[in-house]
Amino acid sequence: MQIHPRLVVIYQQVIQKPVKNISIALGELAPLDESNLRAQWDELVKNTALENISLNIRIIPAEQQCMVCFLKYHPKEKETACPQCESVGAKIISGEEFYLDEK
C-alpha cells in the first residue's frame, strides 16, 4: 500500500511522544478520504509502539469562494463551478487540510 508522505510525517511527530489517542484533521478535498486514511494509518503503525493508539479523524468541510461574484459555497462532488454565476477558478478557503491536531 502506498502511504501518503504527509501521514509518514504525522507518524514521526507522534512517535516522539507517544500518546493514547490522536486526532487528524482531514479536509473534504484532501487527496485521500477517511477510510483510505484509516487503512494507511493501520498499515503504518502495525508492529510499532503506535499500534494501539486510537485515531480520530476530524473531517473539515470544503468551502470555496468565487473570484467573480465572491459567493462562498460548498463545492459538490469536487465540482468547482460557481452555483451562482457558473465561473470556474474559485479560491479554496478550506477543505485541503491534512495535519495532526495539536492538543
Footprint of Zn ion (CB under 5 A): 66, 68-69, 71, 82, 84-85
* Choice between 39 and 85, CB closer to Zn ion: 85
Strands 21-27 and 98-100: antiparallel
Give the pairing of strands 91-94 and 63-65.
antiparallel
Q: Of 19 and 69, which CB lies nearer to Zn ion in the complex structure?
A: 69
Q: With respect to Zn ion, which residue has the nearer C-beta, 13 or 84?
A: 84
Q: Between 49 and 68, whose beta carbon lies closer to Zn ion?
A: 68
Question: Least CB distance from residue 67 to Zn ion, whole Å?
Answer: 8
Handedness of CA 15, 17, 20, 22 (dihedral sign): negative
d(CA 28, CA 42): 21
Residue 45: which residues within 8 A CB-CB, separation 6 or more? Answer: 11, 51, 53
Residue whose grid cell is 509518514: 8
CB of 60 to Zn ion, least distance (A): 22
CB of 29 to Zn ion, least distance (A): 18
- In the complex, the smallest distance separating the C-beta of residue 30 from Zn ion, rounded to whole angstroms, is 24
